[in-house]
């Protein structure tokens, strides 16, 4: 199910999350993620590709990329969600479960 809100011709595509999904994602963001930039872009970085792919499956939108490989080091994976309309729909869903999101929202 998609939430169709936002501004202009690019409606939000983030799913309406179940409580358990929002709680899991909030914990991942607090532990492995960061929210940065003037538009509060969301990134989750980890060497466990399952964490990154689960994040993508839960949200139904976003990008996954593989970081630069360094000999002798584990591969780093990165999830990114940067569309303002998606973030505007997502952050209120995560605020009960993430201190980082609460800080961004001023809660």
Give the predicted TM-score (pTM) of the model: 0.85
CATH superfamily of 19-105: Homing endonucleases (3.10.28.10)
CA-based nearest residue to 76, from 87, 64, 85: 64
- Reported as a single tens digit per residue, the pLDDT across 23-70 is 999 999 999 999 998 778 999 999 999 999 999 999 999 999 998 778
Looking at residue 46, the DSSP 8-state letter turns out to be E
Contacts with 94 (C-beta within 8 Å, 6 or more apart), sequence order: 17, 22, 25, 26, 29, 101
Q: Which residues are registered as beta bridge partners of 44?
A: 33, 79
Residue ranges per structural domain of the chain: 19-105
- Reported as a single tens digit per residue, the pLDDT across 3-21 is 445 555 677 889 899 999 9
């Amino acid at each position: 199910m998609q939430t169709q809100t936002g501004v202009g011709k690019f409606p939000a595509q983030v799913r309406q999350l179940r409580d358990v999904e929002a709680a899991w994602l909030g914990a991942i963001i607090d532990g492995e993620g960061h929210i940065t930039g003037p538009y509060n872009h969301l990134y989750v970085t980890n060497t466990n590709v399952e964490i990154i792919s689960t994040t993508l499956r839960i949200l139904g939108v976003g990008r996954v990329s593989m970081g630069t490989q360094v000999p002798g080091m584990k591969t780093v994976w990165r999830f990114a969600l940067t569309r303002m309309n998606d973030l505007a729909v997502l952050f209120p869903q995560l605020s009960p479960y993430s201190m980082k999101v609460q800080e961004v929202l001023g809660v």
